[in-house]
Amino acid sequence: MAEKTKRKIAFPMVARYNEVVRYFVEEGLHQTYIMQPKMTRRTLKLGVKYAPDMVCTPFKTILGSMIEALEAGADTLIMVFGYCRLGYYGELAESILRDLGYEFDYLNLAEYTTGKNKDYLKAVKKLNPKAGAVTMGKAGLDGLKMMEDIDSVEDYYYQNCGFETTKGEFRKALKQFMHDMGKAKNRSDIDSGYDRCMEKFKSIPIDKGEFPLRVGVLGEYFTVMDEFSNIDLEQSLADLGVEVHRWMNVSHRNLHYPGEKNLHPRISEYCNYEMGPTSTANIWYAKECAENGYDGLVHVKSAGCTPEIDIMPVLQRIGADFKIPILYLTYDSQDGDAGLQTRIEAFYDMIEMRKKVIH
């Protein structure tokens, strides 16, 4: 990467987390952050056009949103990696973009895998060699706080928004919160934005009844968190009058992950080893929901996601053992939501009838 003091940095769209990256880039690295537009059908179409046919869908959306970031004026792209195919996303996306003729600097964190975590820090420092360690550290911590806030706001939102008495109040508060995060310049902006939002949430009148339906959503890391990729799955469920619970988010999986060692003993009757990067957590969460009497589970993944396909036999066993209905959803680059809506409604009807029989 060339030495440059002024950069316009962008990051592919991932759920609501881009505000966190923006905060770190602006406050920690003192560089400009370019926020590409929210993902639309166009994003996916771009990705589908240039990505290999059989790669998992997140690669296609990420590639599409990288193109949109470059179109929006970014000159530097950051890409992270993961333990599945995600680990190779960075390099393949770069060579596709270069073949298309785009010119940009690229920080692919996968290139810095050496076994030592501090080498990733070295990589980040390349974005602004003059950035001080203290400023970066502070902005990093603030950013992580913002991430936790976003996750807990989302948790509260999807567990309650289906029961509001006046339609749209929760949405409005969530929008205001994301707007506040987008404007945040320091820790107190983050904190006050969060407090305001939670206060607002708690003041909205809701009518849950005695036994609201509770559904646990789990599955592939990216698709389950990103509402564009799962075509508003959680919102659709909530709108039918369901408490939607989801454990999988970046704070839980990456920041406060109890670790394979601590989660595994709770599912040792189902598997002997860690089956994949998010498998232990997903199996554990499925069992947890089942034990706590949830009314159903929804397993989400993109087509061809190997680790998630591999845990399906385990989930089927949990479903049979605890008699909990599971809806398996596979997302491909489809752009219509009618088929999905039908399946969600049918699932809802089924768990609702079941609940009436039980109570």
Chain residues in the site for another protein (CB under 8 A): 51-56, 59, 81, 83-85, 87-88, 90-92, 95-96, 99, 108, 110-111, 113-115, 270-277, 279, 303-304, 306-307, 309-314, 316-317, 330
* Shorter beta-carbon distance to another protein: residue 35 or 110: 110
Chain Cα centroid distance, residue 66: 17
Q: How far apart are CA 6 and CA 31, in angstroms?
A: 6
* Shorter beta-carbon distance to another protein: residue 90 or 296: 90
Query: Least distance from C-beta 286 to another protein, angstroms?
Result: 13
At what angle are helices 306-322 and 279-291 packed, to 10 degrees?
A: 20
For residue 21, give the nearest of 6, 7, 42, 35 by alpha carbon: 35
Q: How far apart are CA 253 and CA 284, in angstroms?
A: 12
Q: What are phi and psi of 129, to 5 degrees?
A: -60, -20
Q: How far apart are CA 293 and CA 287, in angstroms?
A: 10
Query: Least distance from C-beta 64 to another protein, angstroms?
Result: 16
Query: Least distance from C-beta 307 to another protein, angstroms?
Result: 5
* Shorter beta-carbon distance to another protein: residue 31 or 57: 57
Query: Least distance from C-beta 20 to another protein, angstroms?
Result: 24
CA dist list (Å): 169 to 43, 123, 212, 239, 274? 29, 43, 20, 13, 42
* Shorter beta-carbon distance to another protein: residue 88 or 104: 88
* Shorter beta-carbon distance to another protein: residue 156 or 328: 328
Query: Least distance from C-beta 150 to another protein, angstroms?
Result: 28
- Secondary structure of residue 359 in the 3-state scheme: coil
* Shorter beta-carbon distance to another protein: residue 54 or 133: 54
Tokens of 217: 């959503």
- Label residues 208-233 b or e (16+ Cβ within 10 Å = b): eeeebbbbbbbbbbbbbbbbbbbbbb
* Shorter beta-carbon distance to another protein: residue 63 or 147: 63
Q: How far apart are CA 299 and CA 222, in angstroms?
A: 13
Query: Least distance from C-beta 282 to another protein, angstroms?
Result: 12
DSSP code of 251? I
Query: Least distance from C-beta 111 to another protein, angstroms?
Result: 6
Query: Least distance from C-beta 59 to another protein, angstroms?
Result: 8
For residue 164, give the nearest of 215, 204, 104 by alpha carbon: 204
Q: How far apart are CA 119 and CA 188, in angstroms?
A: 31
* Shorter beta-carbon distance to another protein: residue 306 or 341: 306
